[in-house]
């Protein structure tokens, strides 16, 4: 299944990269690579990720690439990466 990053997810990736790159550009690039590879794997087995407990919707799942949560939605013909966030952050109420 095709995997697409939403505009919000792309913005979050840029922010994560910028934050980590303040200390280490090499580590920033490596973290973004780990996150994107994990996100791409969701296209192979979409329901492998667990349901997002805050929403409990079958089509909204999460994959973990510590310390980040990759929140994605399973649509009919694609996986949409909705957002990427630190696992300690609270999800917004309007994500679903």
SS3 label, residue 88: coil
Domain definitions of the chain by residue range: 2-86
Contact 85, 65 (CB under 8 A): no
Contact between 59 and 49 under an 8 Å Cβ cutoff? The reply is no
pLDDT, average across residues 57-75: 95
Phi first, then psi, for residue 15 (nearest 5°) are: -65, -40
Model confidence at 79: pLDDT above 90: yes
How far is residue 63's CA from residue 86's CA, in Å, rounded to a whole number? Answer: 12
Average pLDDT over residues 2-10: 97
- Summarize the confidence of residues 41-47 as an average pLDDT: 93
Q: Identify the pLDDT of residue 89.
A: 87
CATH 3.30.2310.20 correct for 2-86: yes
């Amino acid at each position: 299944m095709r995997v697409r990053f939403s505009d919000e997810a792309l913005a979050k990736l840029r922010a994560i990269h910028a934050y980590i790159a303040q200390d280490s550009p090499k580590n920033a690039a490596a973290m973004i690579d780990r996150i994107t590879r994990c996100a791409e794997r969701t296209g192979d087995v979409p329901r492998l990720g667990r349901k997002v407990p805050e929403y409990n919707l079958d089509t909204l799942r999460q994959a973990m690439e510590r310390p980040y949560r990759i929140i994605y939605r399973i649509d009919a013909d694609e996986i949409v990466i909705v957002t990427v966030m630190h696992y300690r952050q609270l999800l917004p109420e309007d994500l679903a």
